[in-house]
Structure 1
Amino acid sequence: MAVGIGNIEGGEAEDEDLFPETTPAEKAEYVDERYSTEDGTETDTAYTEVYVRDESNNALSKEPLLDTLQYKQTVLENESVAVAIPADGEITSIASIVAAAAADDPDATLDEQIGALESTSEAEVTSIVSEALSEEPEARQLVSNSYDPETTSAESHQIIFVFETTEDGEINDAVTSHLFETASDRENPEYFTLNEHALVEANEQMNENTIGLILPVALALILGVLAFTYRDLVDVIVGMVGVVVSIIWMFGILGWLEISAGITMIVGPVLIAALSIDYGFHIFMRYREQRDSGEPIRPPMNRAVRSVSIALCLVTITAGIGFLSNIVNPLENIRDLGLGITFGVISAFLIFVTLVPALKVSIDQTLERFRLDRQKHPLGDGAVLRPFLQSGVVLAKRAAPIVVVVALVATAGSAAAWTALDEEPFEQQTEPAPEWMGELPGPLAWEDPEYNLNEIYVQEQFQPVAQNEGDRIQILIQGDVTNDETLTRIHEAKDTGVFAESTGNTDTVSVLTAMDDLAEEDDEFAAAISEADTSGNGVPDTNLEALYNEMYTLSPESASQVIESTDGTYQSIRIIGPADGGGSLSERADDQTAVASTVEDDSNLTATAVSETTILQSGIEAITDGILHVMVLALVSVFVVYTIIARYLYGSATLGAVTVIPIVLVTGLVISGMYVLDLPLTLVTALLMSLVIGLGIDYNIHVSDRFAQELEAGRNFSQALEAAVVNTGGALLGSALTTAVAFAAIILHPHPQLENLGTLVVLALLMSFLVSVFVLPSLLTIWARFTLPTEEVTETETTSPSDD
């Protein structure tokens, strides 16, 4: 299996691959294929920023501006960079604008700009900067929000490099690497980028931080809880060996089958470790129950494996179904995750019913030859834990209907919580790590990557510069675009307020603006527009096809920006403009979609709002729908399969149904917990919904299976319920605590994405455990009252279940 790991493809997804294909995304591709840019050519350039920050808090003074020009000169000395800059391209910065003004030549070369700025006094530079920033909106976008007009100072500014792209639409890696390296070499002013090379360095630092702090804390907590629950070093080691082998098997199978690991590389070990630890607890605790004083080791282990293997097999089947339900998810990454985890679950089952018991028997036999006693007591038999676990049984006997009603109300409340969850594509770290983390001793000290701090700074200080249509909102209108009402609808759409006020090169462009521009240059076309305007409002409302024809005749470059012409017919038109950035992501998406609706309502037109906002929001909605589909499919599949299995194994389909019902409650409680703790619904939290179902059914099956076994062994209802909840509950408690503390360590991570991941998993584990020992017993009690003979459902509080 280990050899197969070498065949694994990491499958790192690009950002755009993290979301399913949606209508806005499809229409964005359509626009890219069918429409030209402002000069009539296909887009083959991209831009990247380098930020300049001065320690004196005035990056607009002469020396920092001069240093910026010299930095550009250094960058351009690299052959890869020089080749990648388009013939008509430029490097935009406030330094170039000021230096060109100082040279009194807008076309001054970089050397001429440097010479002119060197010969300009500080006072003159300040005057030029003030004039440029007050009169040129494009220049103001290059300066940070810290700009103070009274002192003509700002802490930082940005340089925008435009480069030709490679065949995959990206900037050449050698170019971005050179920008990163040259920026890192300069100290004052400070230069930095946020490109992929800066991110790689940040990830390396983050890994060091995680290995230095999170991993040791997690391991210490896991070993501490395992030591407390197992109370035996040998069992801890054997159990961890089983966990590691299970994970290796999972990746080995993926490798041999040549399935991309992708996000399974991150989430897979976490989920399989959780299930493997659970499997180990049940094997070891049942073995301890089965072994009588003075009995040899092998027979009780055989009985324990036979006894618990049915429950483990059922858990494997049902958990596998839960994870495999992700095949209906719209995201390929999540579909691969479901497949990978399913293989991991099967691997864990095989390892813990074969290898782990064999190791345990071999080691215990060897130790007992040296007269080391290997007789251990199961968890849940202590003076503290036993009364705690028994309280679930007592509650079931005295108030089962009340418990069930409360559970149903809690589940119903989760529906409202689901609709109230915030939806975000990803969570960003907006604050540096707490100071105390950096003050920890030695390798435990946390060092925030410069990338994170710089990213937070840029988000606070700079607004994105709209360099192309991709940064704006587009309304793509398809259908009979020559219909007389079409341009009237466009005119109404522009007045909805979703388009921001036009500044500089970010004017709103549409068929109407293109017509107006041509009318200013051609009187005959102006007359044609006037003739086509029967309402007198300045908007043509008849004979539109003839006007489109004339536009393509007079200026095909201008017309092709806003009108799609194929073989002489007009397939679509579009509006392009700067989007109003107010409101949350969903609010902006709703506003933009509403504009499209005003165009297509009561018409034969189809209008789609295309922007980064609508693409992200539609992706989130698709993921949300995917989660619902997965959860419904998983719950229904598990319900059907386990009901059939329960009918075959226990002779009662209703017992199977009762076992599955609490999973709905666990899912509901986790959703309610997310709402209370203000955890947003993101791509990462979406992935963990399978964990909720997988662990929920796991814990319930163990309790229910033990309950059925005890009844079959001749115990009465009360004895069977107590054995199931107290003895099996002890193993469940150990499993829940061990996995929970491991994930609790992740909460220390300052990134909210990982912090919330840890919080959600801990929440799912605790809810699964509590429901299995406090709600399921009440359901089993009600089931017993309706299905078992009356004389069997009697309270025998003084009778304790004997060991098998």
Structure 2
Amino acid sequence: MSRDSLATLIGFVTEHTRITLLAMLLLSGVVAAGVPMVDTGSQASADADAFDHLDRVQTSQTIQEQFAATDDSPNRTVEPVYVQLEDGNALSKESLLAGLRYQRAIRENATISRALHDRGVVGFSNLVAVRAAENPNASLSEQIDAIEAASTGEVEALVERVLAEDPRAKRFLPADHDASATTASDRRLLVTLDTSVGDPTLDNATGALYQQASERSSAGFFVLNSHAWNAYSSHFFGEMLELVVPAALAFILVVLGFAYRDVVDVVVGMVGVALSVLWMFGLLGWLGVAAGTVTVIPVVLIAGLSIDFGFHVFNRYREQRADGEGIRAPMHRGVIRIATALVLVTVTAAIGFLANLSNPLPLIRNLGVSITLGVASALVIFVTVVPALKIGIDGLLEHAGVDRRKAPLGHGRYLKPVLGRLVTLARRGAPVVLVVAVLVGAAGGAAWLGLEEESYQQSDGDVAEWKQQLPGPLGWETHPVAAQSEHVEDVYQPASADAAFQEPILVEGDVTRDGTLDALQRGVDDVRDRDLLVDGTGSRAVTSPVTVIQAVAARDDDVAAVVAETDTDDDGVPDRDLERVYDALYEADSDLASRVVAREDGEYQSLLVSLSLDADFANADAVVADLDESAAIMAGDESGRTATVAGSFALNEAILGAIVDGILTTMTVALAAIALTLAGVFRYMHGSATLGLVVAVPIALVLGLVVGGMYLLSIPLTLLTALLMSLVIGLGIDYNIHVGDRYADERREGASTYEALDAAVTGTGGALLGSTLTSVGALATITLVPHPQLQSFGAIVVVALTTAFAVSVLVLPSLLVLWSRHAPGAVTTDATPTGVAQD
């Protein structure tokens, strides 16, 4: 849109306010109709071919291509039910009896019984009860009767015998339980469900399991299935809204009330904020762009940017209105003077946000689109609805005799001297300010190398006591699932090897070389020595060529004979003539052999080791590092082999690294695009491309300071925080454009360097301060939420906005002073400018 077209539009808005409001009301209704169509589903997965260039991803694809898929997987899934008695004994008669009665209840539940597998339900209480009944085939009713009839001492003796004599007991108790101890605060029972019954029946059964356990929570029963987590999520977001929204709104209203000192301006500004967010979601619905599960991010950012737009509209209107003047003319001049700036802010912010379209994660791409649509919506609302509504309300009030003239922010007797000193600092010490800024920014940027990388930040469920003691709905009511999950991960191994995380290692190259299987076994032993494997679950924790060869040799005499002849050190692992060993294995059981030894046209290409790990994503980075060391043992030195870890842990680590690298590229491209855009626009508007480049420079400083802030606050690089780093560009450019373009506008109208700086820093800087205080205060409330991901989000955006404001009023004025000294007269002067200046 040209400057003349923009001026014509604003002229229509300020002259025909009723028509404008009616038209925008109708248009808002049309846009809002798209809100019900918004998709808020998960977008966590990446594009299928986005990471094909990564070694680990290629290895994972090779595994899928070369090795036969197992087709004998059981049609069952194990649902653990946990019993936790922090101050009690989960192995006592009462607790064991409660466990047996729980089993009876779920067996009698029609919803669960329809999905129950033949293996049914088993737990430590059954091991004790069948001994009490003196019948290994005792029914559940007989088990209950036997425990009820036994004395407390008899049950304790039975528990002791089970722990000493039955290896199955370990599966139901914490991993570190001492077999000689007849007391424990924890145990679990395993419910086996038949997956062949179909999703609806299975889902209903797991829901009933959750309900049954919840009814017995006083006895320590709980489950951690999807229904439990759904309940936790609903509770969490409800508590978050009750804590954050009132606090954020209260802070915003207080700051806006102090800044505007006018209820009408506060109300009109908040109407603009609400409409901007509404338009964003409506446009997302009409365009079919998924909003995702992290909609709080665009909502908060657009609310902050909308408040910023409102500050500039109202502040410039107040600056323009002279004593005795009406409303429409100063509003027209004020919006004219800031409209082009708002357009430029929107365009450059969109460049920063839309740079994420190159990201392989749909979540990040769609967030970039969402925020861009929100910024564009705010632009439309704040140059149409907000000025028209402001004119209409002020007109009615003044017609009733209420004086609506207000002093602009930044011109008060307290704030103006403070902002004025920043101009003095730029005039007297610009070189020093610039040197200090470069050093601080460089130090912050260097901290990038020291940031930790994590797939995600996991909540431990802990909530500060003071948050729980807040009055009324503000008080945070804790939900046990997060703490229960962390407790289970700490004390238990996975219920079975199949339920554990699977991490394959692919060995490629000369796999028939002597000693290959010995090296492979040494690598597996190294994994075991690191306590990474699941054990005591009744399932094999390692599947490898060695385990398969040994299993087949145990039932096939020909394979056994070959193994004996090729095992020179009698350790059960063939160490020579391996091609002969593989041939014998394929001849005896080609299906089983194809799962661990890949061959094509008679040539053996690779070996597959599959590990069931006692680990989770919270310590995935350390696990991958350990597995890489074990894989190096399998590869050996100068053996012509490679060994690559290629499971979910390793793939996540590789993908996160690629995304972080990609965001660095994205930020570089976005910075370059914004710099070129500002150079072109400032050349067109003000006759100086170099001025546009000067305005763009501080964005890099803001990025450096944000990185430094992350380092000091111990905020790791995750998918979310890496995304926010790229969004910082869109946030950081806003304030600099406002100050830089206001300076250029004042110079165009004949002001000297320091007069222009004074107008920019005290006038525009005052509006920026109000915007910063409002946005920072509102966003800071997110750090109250007891979840590290959201706390990191709030902290990063607060740091970004604070540093962006500081740079715009501290560093940019010094840059403008130095620029004016070395590029005198570069700004086109025009006593009656037709261009649209900015705030």
Q: 1:317 to 1:143 in 2, by over 3 A?
A: same
Contact (CA 8 Å) 1:477, 1:606: kept in 2 or not? yes
Alignment partner for residue 724 of structure 2, among 688, 691, 713? 688
Alignment partner for residue 343 of structure 2, among 310, 313, 316? 313
Q: Is 1:554 matched up with 2:588?
A: yes
Q: 1:609 maps to what in 2?
A: 645
Q: 1:404 to 1:195 in 2, by over 3 A?
A: same
Q: 1:508 to 1:711 in 2, by over 3 A?
A: same
Q: 2:694 maps to what in 1?
A: 658
Q: 2:630 maps to what in 1?
A: 595
Q: 1:702 maps to what in 2?
A: 738
Q: 1:459 to 1:468 in 2, by over 3 A?
A: closer
Q: 1:13 to 1:93 in 2, by over 3 A?
A: farther
Which one is further off, 267-276 or 383-392?
Answer: 383-392
How far apart, in 2, do the equivalents of 1:190 and 1:587 lie? 33
Contact (CA 8 Å) 1:499, 1:579: kept in 2 or not? no
Contact (CA 8 Å) 1:466, 1:472: kept in 2 or not? no
Q: 1:420 maps to what in 2?
A: 450
CA offsets, 1:637-670, max 9 Å, x none? 2122222222222221211111111111111111
Q: 1:634 maps to what in 2?
A: 670
CA offsets, 1:141-166, max 9 Å, x none? 52247956665111221222233436
Contact (CA 8 Å) 1:37, 1:43: kept in 2 or not? no
Q: 1:77 maps to what in 2?
A: 108
Q: 2:786 maps to what in 1?
A: 750
Q: Is 1:49 matched up with 2:84?
A: no
Superposition deviation, residue 717 in structure 1? 0.9
Superposition deviation, residue 589 in structure 1? 1.4
Superposition deviation, residue 455 in structure 1? 3.0
How far apart, in 1, do the equivalents of 2:432 and 2:710 lie? 25
Superposition deviation, residue 34 in structure 1? 7.0
Q: 1:296 maps to what in 2?
A: 326
How far apart, in 2, do the equivalents of 1:260 and 1:775 lie? 39
Contact (CA 8 Å) 2:562, 2:581: kept in 1 or not? yes
Which one is further off, 200-209 or 763-772?
Answer: 200-209
Which one is further off, 463-472 or 399-408?
Answer: 463-472
Q: 1:475 to 1:67 in 2, by over 3 A?
A: same
Which one is further off, 507-516 or 152-161?
Answer: 507-516
Superposition deviation, residue 677 in structure 1? 1.4
Contact (CA 8 Å) 1:477, 1:573: kept in 2 or not? yes
Q: Is 1:511 matched up with 2:545?
A: yes
Q: 1:263 to 1:26 in 2, by over 3 A?
A: farther
Query: Which one-letter code corresponds to 2:236 in the other structure?
Result: M
How far apart, in 2, do the equivalents of 1:620 and 1:18 lie? 15
How far apart, in 2, do the equivalents of 1:103 and 1:639 lie? 82
Superposition deviation, residue 252 in structure 1? 0.8
Q: 1:497 to 1:184 in 2, by over 3 A?
A: closer
Contact (CA 8 Å) 2:500, 2:612: kept in 1 or not? no
Aligned length: 792
How far apart, in 1, do the equivalents of 2:168 and 2:65 lie? 28
Alignment partner for residue 358 of structure 1, among 385, 388, 413? 388
Contact (CA 8 Å) 2:550, 2:572: kept in 1 or not? no
Superposition deviation, residue 691 in structure 1? 3.4
Q: Percent sequence identity over matched residues?
A: 43
Which one is further off, 576-585 or 337-346?
Answer: 576-585
Q: 1:139 to 1:3 in 2, by over 3 A?
A: same
How far apart, in 2, do the equivalents of 1:84 and 1:500 lie? 38
How far apart, in 1, do the equivalents of 2:167 and 2:50 lie? 37
How far apart, in 1, do the equivalents of 2:520 and 2:323 lie? 87
Q: Is 1:140 matched up with 2:175?
A: no
Superposition deviation, residue 445 in structure 1? 2.4
Q: 1:129 maps to what in 2?
A: 159
Question: TM-score by structure 1 length?
Answer: 0.90
Q: 1:528 maps to what in 2?
A: 562
Query: Which one-letter code corresponds to 2:398 in the other structure?
Result: E
How far apart, in 2, do the equivalents of 1:307 and 1:99 lie? 84
Superposition deviation, residue 72 in structure 1? 1.7
Q: Specify the SS of the correspondent of 2:246.
A: helix
Q: Specify the SS of the correspondent of 1:295.
A: coil
Q: Specify the SS of the correspondent of 2:549.
A: helix
Question: TM-score by structure 2 length?
Answer: 0.87
Superposition deviation, residue 516 in structure 1? 2.7
Q: Specify the SS of the correspondent of 2:83.
A: strand
CA offsets, 1:98-140, max 9 Å, x none? 2344455555543444344444443343233234335556533
Q: 2:703 maps to what in 1?
A: 667
CA offsets, 1:285-338, max 9 Å, x none? 111111111111111111111111111111000000100011122211111111
Q: 1:334 to 1:789 in 2, by over 3 A?
A: closer
Q: 1:63 to 1:302 in 2, by over 3 A?
A: same
How far apart, in 2, do the equivalents of 1:449 and 1:593 lie? 38
Contact (CA 8 Å) 1:330, 1:622: kept in 2 or not? no
Which one is further off, 534-543 or 761-770?
Answer: 534-543
Contact (CA 8 Å) 2:688, 2:827: kept in 1 or not? no
How far apart, in 2, do the equivalents of 1:169 and 1:594 lie? 40
Query: Which one-letter code corresponds to 1:129 in the other structure?
Result: V
How far apart, in 2, do the equivalents of 1:174 and 1:63 lie? 29
Contact (CA 8 Å) 1:500, 1:577: kept in 2 or not? no
CA offsets, 1:85-106, max 9 Å, x none? 444x353422223234445555
CA offsets, 1:600-638, max 9 Å, x none? 575665533144432442343233223323222221221
Q: 1:591 to 1:460 in 2, by over 3 A?
A: closer
Superposition deviation, residue 705 in structure 1? 0.4
Query: Which one-letter code corresponds to 1:594 in the other structure?
Result: E
Query: Which one-letter code corresponds to 1:42 in the other structure?
Result: S
Q: 2:11 maps to what in 1?
A: none
Q: 1:227 maps to what in 2?
A: 257
Q: 1:465 to 1:613 in 2, by over 3 A?
A: farther
Superposition deviation, residue 542 in structure 1? 4.8
Contact (CA 8 Å) 2:353, 2:368: kept in 1 or not? yes
Q: Specify the SS of the correspondent of 1:417.
A: helix
How far apart, in 1, do the equivalents of 2:643 and 2:450 lie? 29
Contact (CA 8 Å) 2:500, 2:613: kept in 1 or not? no
Query: Which one-letter code corresponds to 2:717 in the other structure?
Result: L
Contact (CA 8 Å) 2:510, 2:639: kept in 1 or not? no
Spell out the pairing of 1:195-594 with structure 2 (5 A cutoff): 195-263=225-293, 265-430=295-460, 432-468=462-498, 470-478=500-508, 481-482=511-512, 486-497=516-527, 500=530, 503-504=535-536, 505-532=539-566, 539-556=573-590, 558-564=592-598, 572-579=606-613, 584-594=619-629
How far apart, in 2, do the equivalents of 1:253 and 1:344 lie? 9
Query: Which one-letter code corresponds to 2:244 in the other structure?
Result: I
Q: 1:795 maps to what in 2?
A: none
Q: Specify the SS of the correspondent of 2:656.
A: helix
Superposition deviation, residue 494 in structure 1? 2.6
Q: Specify the SS of the correspondent of 2:33.
A: helix
Q: 2:13 maps to what in 1?
A: none
Superposition deviation, residue 487 in structure 1? 2.5
Contact (CA 8 Å) 2:586, 2:594: kept in 1 or not? yes
Which one is further off, 412-421 or 221-230?
Answer: 412-421
Name structure 1 gaps, 5 residues minimum. 793-802
Which one is further off, 265-274 or 628-637?
Answer: 628-637
Contact (CA 8 Å) 1:438, 1:445: kept in 2 or not? yes
Superposition deviation, residue 541 in structure 1? 4.8
Query: Which one-letter code corresponds to 2:672 in the other structure?
Result: V
